[in-house]
Structure 1
């Protein structure tokens, strides 16, 4: 497996973990947890969706998702959010946290940006998106 497909698989896996964790917490019978679960599901579907197609609104408002460092901090944030729960969701949060730390570290490895998937190449997108 080449490195580009590996990073895409990690992104899809993390998105799947978000969706799975969101559905687990959705039925926790607490309004706050259910609301948070909906946000986690939306973020998971967005992460998965970025691997398929990149809409202009994502380029304008979610530009942090197009670099290793930005995506790493996002994954680390979401991982700590999931890690705060108990049980299986905590384990899934730990996995996402590890992926986030690895992505933050990958930002500083020389030449690794060349293997980033299309959804993480910030230099392929125009930073001056005017129309959304």
Structure 2
């Protein structure tokens, strides 16, 4: 969840397990998979900068506490 690829793989996984035999379940799962593919594609676009919570900041857990 801390990179575009990780978030995209998560959405692809959730979308694939959401798909079912009914058309509305298949449509919802396909939309989630498409969002996941979009996140994976964002990793390879050099002009898109990841948000602050996805950057490599080696602060560890609880760094906001002093």
Q: TM-score, normalised by structure 1?
A: 0.40
Q: Which residue of 1 aligns with 2:33?
A: 97
Task: Indicate the residue corresponding to 1:7 in structure 2.
Answer: none
Cα distance per residue 1:94-121 (max 9 Å; x no partner) = 000000011101101103124x3x44x2
TM-score, normalised to structure 2's length? Answer: 0.74
Indicate the structure with greater helix content: 1
Instruction: Please say if 1:72 is aligned against 2:5.
Output: no
Give the aligned CA root-mean-square deviation in angstroms: 2.1
| 2:18 aligned residue (82, 106, 116) | 82
Equivalent in 97, 113, 123 of residue 49 of structure 2: 113
User: RCO greater where, 1 or 2, for CA within 8 Å and sep 6 or more?
Assistant: 2
Q: SS of the counterpart of 1:123?
A: coil
How many residue pairs are counted as aligned between the two chains?
61
Instruction: Supply the distance in 1 between the matched residues of 2:40 and 2:56 (Cα, whole angstroms).
Output: 18
Structure 2 residue runs of 5 or longer lacking an equivalent are none
Moved over 2 A (4+): 122-126
